């Protein structure tokens, strides 16, 4: 009788031991299943010209690294589920951390490129440029320094594979500092993007533009809003959740799940921004082409008085001839309507020709 509770307790312990790894495997497999169609969608919504640009290449590489991150994590955690008592597979774990670092680096490069396009240093004052780029570069440098420290802690750690989630954890104070920096950085760029949108809207209301230019400008503002929303707002929200979990939850497996989701949210954010901007560009180019075709401008050619009088006589003669042709066709149409069914109608102009020939003979 005592063997059954002992065995059930052992089973419960083993399930509780591998359940965090199973949760992470399910999350990574789900993100992997979503990432593969997203890659095809990225190629489908972009033109051949866009595919040759560095921004598109950076998006593709970031998404490929995110897919590799999910596969590497599944590979590591499957080993910890099968044999939880073995030592940690350091090469696989270092590969996972390296891929995670590369995803973050490419995402940061894409964000820096977007900020550079929206707020170029050549078009803003020196004070604004320092306010924008110095905190951004400082935050990113601190983040990369923490990732290097993470690699060093993995190389010097001595942990079994059943604690693989804790291996990828940061130090508590370091993680909180990183989260605060990410939130501050994201809020700063949200305000900068909003300020740019508000300035552009005021500029649009100050000057009077045509409808096509106004529509194109509004479309660009809409794209700018979606870029700010997907690239900064959503990652800031997920990072806030990470910060709250870091303070209130001591179980790092929950933090690690949200951390993996945050990486994919950032990847999809820059991906959606690229697709939205490209679709908006194609739509605006199509509207501009249609407007140019339907709203063409015709310029009058200056002519002399004699040429204008001759052209006036010529146009009046042509109009008279056209009216006579219309009248004859109308008369003949009436004659055809008045002709009884089964009889051949008289050819057009026969009576006039006979009268002319009789007068000529006389």
More reliable by pLDDT, 179 or 31: 31
The label of the residue with tokens 């005021």 reads 202
Q: Which of 66-70, 90-94, 177-181 has the highest mean pLDDT?
A: 66-70
**Which token pair is 337?**
């309507």
**Which token pair is 327?**
């009248």
**What is the average pLDDT value for the chain, to the nearest integer?**
65
Task: Please indicate, yes or no, if residue 244 is contained in any of the structural domains.
Answer: yes
End-to-end CA distance of the chain: 143
Q: Which of 143-147, 204-208, 356-360 has the highest mean pLDDT?
A: 143-147
Q: How many CB atoms lie within 10 A of CB 132?
A: 19
**Is the pTM for the entire model greater than 0.85?**
no
What's CA 159's distance to the chain center, in Å?
42
The region of weakest confidence among 171-185, 220-234, 242-256, 319-333 is 319-333
CA distances from 307 to 56, 212, 317 (A): 59, 39, 15
The region of weakest confidence among 138-142, 165-169, 226-230 is 165-169
- Asked if the model's pLDDT at residue 145 lies above 60, the reply is yes
| Percentage of the chain lying above the pLDDT 70 cut | 45
- pLDDT value, residue 210: 44
Task: Please indicate, yes or no, if residue 55 is contained in any of the structural domains.
Answer: yes
Here the CATH number for the domain that contains residue 102 is 1.20.1070
Q: What phi and psi, each to the nearest 5 degrees, are found at residue 24?
A: -65, -35
Count of alpha carbons within 13 angstroms of residue 316, beta-carbon side:
5
Cβ atoms of 25 and 78 closer than 8 Å: yes
**How far apart are alpha carbons 26 and 194 in whole angstroms?**
37
Helix (H, G, I), strand (E, B) or coil at 168: coil
More reliable by pLDDT, 11 or 156: 11
Q: DSSP string of 51-98?
A: GGSHHHHHHHHHHHHHHHHHHHHHHHHHHHHH-TTSBP-HHHHHHHHH
Helix residue ranges, H only, 207-251: 211-228, 234-248
**How far apart are alpha carbons 358 and 355 in whole angstroms?**
5
- Asked if the model's pLDDT at residue 360 lies above 60, the reply is no
Nearest to 276 by CA among 32, 34, 59, 35: 59
Q: How many CB atoms lie within 10 A of CB 267?
A: 25
Task: Please indicate, yes or no, if residue 240 is contained in any of the structural domains.
Answer: yes
* Exposure letters 297-332 (e unless 16+ CB within 10 A, then b): eeeeeeeeeeeeeeeeeeeeeeeeeeeeeeeeeeee
For 197-206, how does the pLDDT look when each residue is reduced to its tens digit (9 = 90+)? 555 555 444 4
170 Cβ contact list (under 8 Å, min separation 6): 146, 150, 178
Helix (H, G, I), strand (E, B) or coil at 160: strand
**How far apart are alpha carbons 107 and 103 in whole angstroms?**
6
Count of alpha carbons within 13 angstroms of residue 170, beta-carbon side:
20
pLDDT band at 219 (very low <50, low <70, confident <90, very high): low
DSSP-assigned beta bridge partners for residue 160: 87
- Asked if the model's pLDDT at residue 103 lies above 50, the reply is yes
Total structural domains within the chain: 1
| Domain region containing 26 | 9-289
Mean pLDDT of 301-315: 49
- pLDDT value, residue 97: 75
For 330-354, how does the pLDDT look when each residue is reduced to its tens digit (9 = 90+)? 444 444 444 444 444 444 444 444 4
**How far apart are alpha carbons 292 and 216 in whole angstroms?**
14
Task: Please indicate, yes or no, if residue 345 is contained in any of the structural domains.
Answer: no
Q: Which 8-state DSSP code applies to residue 101?
A: H
Count of alpha carbons within 13 angstroms of residue 53, beta-carbon side:
13
């Amino acid at each position: 009788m005592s063997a059954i509770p002992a065995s059930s307790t052992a089973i419960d312990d083993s399930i509780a031991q591998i359940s965090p790894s199973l949760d992470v495997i399910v999350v990574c497999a789900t993100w992997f299943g979503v990432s593969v169609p997203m890659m095809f969608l990225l190629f489908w919504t972009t033109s051949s010209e866009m595919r040759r640009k560095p921004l598109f290449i950076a998006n593709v590489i970031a998404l490929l690294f995110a897919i590799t991150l999910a596969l590497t994590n599944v590979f590591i955690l499957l080993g910890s589920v099968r044999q939880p008592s073995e030592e940690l597979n350091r090469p696989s774990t270092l590969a996972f951390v390296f891929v995670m670092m590369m995803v973050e680096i490419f995402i940061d490069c894409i964000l820096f490129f977007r900020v550079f396009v929206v707020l170029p240093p050549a078009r803003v004052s020196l004070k604004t440029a320092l306010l924008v780029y110095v905190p951004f570069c400082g935050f990113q440098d601190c983040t990369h320094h923490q990732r290097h420290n993470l690699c060093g802690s993995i190389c010097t750690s001595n942990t079994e594979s059943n604690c693989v989630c804790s291996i990828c954890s940061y130090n508590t104070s370091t993680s909180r500092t990183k989260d605060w920096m990410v939130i501050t950085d994201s809020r700063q760029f949200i305000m900068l993007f909003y300020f740019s949108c508000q300035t552009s809207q005021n500029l649009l209301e100050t000057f009077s533009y045509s409808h096509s230019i106004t529509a194109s400008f509004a479309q660009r503002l809409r794209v700018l809003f979606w870029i700010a929303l997907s690239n900064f707002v959503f990652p800031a929200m997920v990072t806030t959740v990470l910060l709250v979990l870091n303070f209130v939850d001591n179980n790092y497996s929950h933090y690690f799940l949200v951390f993996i989701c945050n990486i994919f949210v950032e990847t999809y954010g820059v991906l959606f921004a690229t697709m939205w901007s490209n679709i908006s560009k194609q739509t605006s180019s199509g509207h501009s082409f249609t407007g140019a075709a339907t709203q063409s401008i015709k310029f009058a050619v200056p002519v002399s008085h004699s040429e204008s009088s001759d052209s006036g006589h010529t146009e009046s003669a042509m109009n008279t001839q056209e009216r006579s042709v219309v009248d004859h066709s109308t008369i003949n149409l009436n004659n055809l309507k008045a002709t009884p069914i089964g009889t051949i109608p008289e050819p057009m102009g026969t009576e006039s020709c006979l009268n002319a020939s009789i007068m000529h003979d006389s």
